[in-house]
């Protein structure tokens, strides 16, 4: 399990992202947009993977956390206004959105993580809907008509910089003695408890960490699309992210990233007949569960077999 | 007199109308090896679950090194020094042999969330230390070769031993072994007895052992308590227990012959 040079990979990832963003003006705007979508999806899927994959808690509320971070950071940007000092306030706005999402995650997580399996899924589903309804009725963030005119600050650098940080953080956590607690909770809560793992605390930690990065992804999304509507964060959005985690193989970082890329590109490729998107989604998952129950990209059978 | 390490005082637990364990009083001193036996369904595992905080006793008191354990969660009791194994093996199935131990060693790893993220010098030292200790334990139990294998891919006997290693990694003062010899062949059982004695001496452990194999129980226990239908019917040295009339009755049933023959 040596995770040597992890920080070097992180720095390389960030450097590459910044370098890429330097050439941004030369890119086709459409492709650029899609690539940024991919980066955001990677953040969402990797962070949900900590909750649903590594820790084994089935959450359907990721879009809710994304909404919290998105609306809050967009609101900050609109208060500060302009793109002049973006390099300073944009990361702060993103992190602020992430922190608020994490705080909400704590608020939701502490009572609901006593539940297991289906019950937890229902509670988190309900939470996501609450967020959406609250957003729809809050005048400060535009209520039902949403937030308009958010400055376009998201670029390749920020997106993939934060994607690199997310992937690093989740992998670093899980690949440590401390983080083995997440997997222990996933495997057997009773054995984990009796070996000194505080299971409730571990689950809440995973939940809050996942919420933080979902909040950041929300902020990137807001400053990418420049328009936020509460209806964009309904439970279908959460399902999209869950599908990435399942398709990639619960708890497998590389697989989940690959699935995030695949599932973001697929609707773009299928744009001409996008009504069939959900059908293809469903077919893909059914096929996958039949053919590769451990996930599409499970190279690492020996170490982390869930079968 | 010193305070016993573990003390049960009329510990009782009821599930609805069923009294699973009734007024169980039992002491385990520091470094003592005590056996808990009884027919199936006598309440031995339930007693374990009360001691480790999984179940909350309906009445009675359980003290660990003099402190009442009521309402303390299992993970805190593990940190306080109570470790256990399970009758139906509960290893972490997606983790390697070494990582199973690392989970238990988390208690003493000392590194937390942010140091795991930052991976500084202190973290690296702690991780190396944890791995070294884990390998030392694996060495004692002769499992070093399998360190990177998935825990559930081990043969049954090795899985049982790995559970003991994992429990030891929490650095307990008291270890509860729930049928550690179940499913082992005679030579594995002999090895196990030797190992239990060895780690008990080496780490100055108190051991509470539930076991059906009488050869194991009589071979290593210093004292034995017998449960039947949740009630303690006898307690004493292995010799005393072997010829205790109530124990024989519990295991073999009442003799069908008239009373005068009972003296034979």
Residue A185, pLDDT > 90, answer yes
pLDDT confidence of residue A88: 80
- DSSP per residue, chain B: -PPPSEEEEEEEEEETTEEEEEEEEEEE-TT-EEEEE-STTSSHHHHHHHHTTSS--SEEEEEETTEE-TT--HHHHHHHTEEE--SS----TTSBHHHHHHHHHHHHH---HHHHHH--HHHHHHHHHHHHHHHHHHHHTT-GGGTTSBGGGS-HHHHHHHHHHHHHHT--SEEEEESTTTT--HHHHHHHHHHHHHHHHHTT-EEEEE-S-HHHHHHH-SEEEEEETTEEEEEE-HHHHHT-HHHHHHHH---SS-GGGGG-
Report which of residues A87 and B179 the model is more confident about: B179
Residues 6+ apart with CB under 8 A from A148: A142, A226, A227
Nearest-CA neighbor of A129 among A237, A240, A242, A235? A235
| Contact yes or no for B75 and A306 at CB 8 A | no
CA distance A28 to chain B (A): 36
Per-residue confidence at B134, pLDDT binned at 50, 70, 90? very high
Look at strands B67-68 and B174-178 and give their pairing: unpaired
The CATH number fitting domain B6-263, selected from 3.40.50.80, 3.40.50.300, 1.10.1670.40, 3.90.1150.10 = 3.40.50.300
pLDDT confidence of residue B256: 58
Spell out the domain ranges in chain B: 6-263
pTM equals: 0.90
Residue A303, pLDDT > 60, answer no
Residue B149, pLDDT > 50, answer yes
Percent of chain A having pLDDT more than 90?
47
- Mean pLDDT, to the nearest integer, of B103-118? 91
* Sheet with strand B82-84: strands edge to edge: B82-84, B174-178, B206-210, B33-37, B223-228, B231-236
pLDDT confidence of residue A82: 65
CA distance B168 to chain A (A): 9
Residue A83, pLDDT > 70, answer no
Among the ranges given (A105-109, A111-115, A124-128, B5-9), the one the predictor scored with the smallest mean pLDDT: A111-115
Pairs across A and B, CB distance < 8 A: 121
pLDDT confidence of residue A5: 64
CA distance A229 to chain B (A): 34
- Mean pLDDT, to the nearest integer, of A176-182? 94
Among the ranges given (A194-198, B176-180, B207-211, B248-252), the one the predictor scored with the smallest mean pLDDT: B248-252
pLDDT confidence of residue A25: 75
- The string of pLDDT tens digits covering residues B182-204 is 888 999 999 999 999 999 999 99
pLDDT confidence of residue A298: 57
- Mean pLDDT, to the nearest integer, of A137-154? 84
Per-residue confidence at A301, pLDDT binned at 50, 70, 90? very low
Mean pLDDT of chain A, nearest integer: 86
Percent of chain B having pLDDT more than 90?
79
- The string of pLDDT tens digits covering residues A239-249 is 989 989 988 88
Based on its alpha-carbon atoms, the radius of gyration of chain A, rounded to whole angstroms, reads 19
- Mean pLDDT, to the nearest integer, of A38-57? 95
- The string of pLDDT tens digits covering residues A231-287 is 888 888 999 899 899 888 888 888 899 989 988 888 787 777 767 777 887 787 788
Calpha distance A95→A216 (Å, rounded): 6
What ipTM does the predicted assembly reach?
0.90
If phi > 0 it is left, if psi is from -120 to 50 it is alpha, else beta; for residue B63 that is beta
pLDDT confidence of residue B231: 93
Residue A171, pLDDT > 50, answer yes
B103 at A interface, C-beta within 8 A = yes
Q: Which chain B residues touch A180 with a CB distance below 8 Å? A: 95, 99, 102-103, 106
pLDDT confidence of residue A304: 42
pLDDT confidence of residue A153: 87
- The string of pLDDT tens digits covering residues B60-102 is 999 999 999 999 999 999 999 999 999 999 999 999 999 999 9
| Contact yes or no for A192 and B103 at CB 8 A | yes
Percent of chain A having pLDDT more than 70?
93
- Mean pLDDT, to the nearest integer, of A102-112? 92
- The string of pLDDT tens digits covering residues B12-28 is 999 998 999 999 999 99
CA distance A190 to chain B (A): 8
| Contact yes or no for A178 and B54 at CB 8 A | no
Select the residue of B54, B111, B148 nearest A178 (Cβ to Cβ): B111
pLDDT confidence of residue B217: 92
Select the residue of A187, A194, A302 nearest B93 (Cβ to Cβ): A187
| Contact yes or no for A172 and B79 at CB 8 A | no
Residue B2, pLDDT > 80, answer no
Residue of B nearest to A6 (CA): B119
| Contact yes or no for B90 and A178 at CB 8 A | no
Residue B165, pLDDT > 50, answer yes
């Amino acid at each position: 399990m040596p995770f040597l040079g992890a920080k070097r990979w992180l720095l390389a990832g960030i450097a590459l992202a910044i370098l890429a963003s330097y050439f941004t003006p030369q890119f086709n705007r459409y492709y650029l947009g899609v690539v940024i979508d991919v980066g955001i999806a990677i953040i969402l899927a990797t962070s949900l993977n900590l909750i649903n994959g590594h820790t084994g808690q089935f959450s359907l509320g990721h879009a809710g956390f994304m909404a919290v971070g998105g609306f809050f950071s967009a609101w900050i940007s609109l208060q500060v206004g302009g793109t002049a000092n973006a390099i300073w306030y944009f990361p702060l706005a993103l992190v602020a959105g992430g922190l608020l999402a994490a705080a909400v995650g704590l608020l939701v997580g502490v009572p609901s993580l006593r539940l297991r399996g289906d019950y937890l899924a229902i509670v988190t589903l309900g939470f996501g809907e609450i967020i959406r309804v609250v957003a729809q009725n809050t005048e400060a963030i535009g209520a039902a008509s949403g937030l308009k005119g958010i400055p376009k600050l998201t670029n390749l650098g920020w997106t993939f910089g934060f994607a690199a940080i997310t992937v690093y953080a989740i992998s670093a956590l899980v690949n440590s003695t401390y983080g083995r607690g997440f997997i222990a909770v996933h495997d057997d809560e009773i054995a984990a408890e009796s070996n000194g793992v505080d299971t409730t605390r571990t689950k809440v930690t995973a939940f809050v960490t996942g919420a933080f990065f979902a909040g950041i992804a929300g902020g990137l999304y807001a400053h990418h699309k420049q328009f936020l509507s509460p209806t964009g964060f309904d439970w279908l959005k959460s399902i999209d992210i869950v599908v990435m985690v399942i398709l990639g193989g619960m708890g497998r970082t590389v697989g989940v990233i690959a699935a995030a890329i695949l599932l973001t590109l697929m609707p773009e490729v299928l744009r001409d007949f996008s009504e069939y998107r959900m059908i293809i989604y469903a077919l893909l998952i059914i096929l996958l569960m039949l053919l590769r129950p451990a996930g599409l990209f499970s190279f690492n059978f020996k170490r982390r077999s869930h079968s | 007199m010193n305070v016993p390490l573990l003390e049960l005082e009329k510990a009782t637990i009821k599930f609805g109308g069923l009294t699973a364990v009734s007024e169980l009083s039992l002491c385990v001193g520091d470094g003592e090896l005590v056996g808990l036996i009884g027919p199936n369904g006598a309440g031995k595992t339930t007693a374990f679950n009360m001691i480790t905080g999984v179940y909350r006793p309906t009445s009675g008191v359980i003290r660990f090194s003099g402190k009442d354990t009521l309402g303390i969660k299992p993970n805190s009791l593990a940190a306080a020094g109570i470790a256990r194994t399970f009758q139906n093996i509960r290893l972490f199935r997606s983790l390697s042999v070494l990582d199973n131990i690392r989970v238990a060693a988390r208690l003493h790893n000392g590194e937390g969330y942010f140091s795991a993220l930052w991976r500084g010098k202190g973290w690296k030292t702690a991780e190396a230390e944890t791995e070294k200790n884990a390998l030392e334990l694996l060495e004692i139990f002769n499992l070093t070769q399998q360190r990177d294998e998935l825990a559930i891919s081990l043969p049954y006997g090795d899985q049982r031993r790995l559970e003991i290693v994992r429990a030891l990694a929490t650095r307990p003062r008291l270890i509860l072994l729930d049928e550690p010899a179940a499913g082992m062949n005679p030579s594995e059982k002999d090895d196990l007895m030797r190992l239990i004695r060895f780690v008990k001496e080496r780490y100055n452990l108190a051991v509470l052992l539930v076991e059906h194999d009488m050869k194991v129980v009589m071979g290593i226990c210093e004292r034995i308590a017998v449960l039947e239908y949740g009630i303690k019917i006898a307690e004493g040295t292995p010799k005393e227990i072997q010829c205790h009339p109530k124990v024989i009755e519990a295991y073999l049933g009442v003799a069908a012959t008239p009373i005068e023959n009972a003296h034979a």
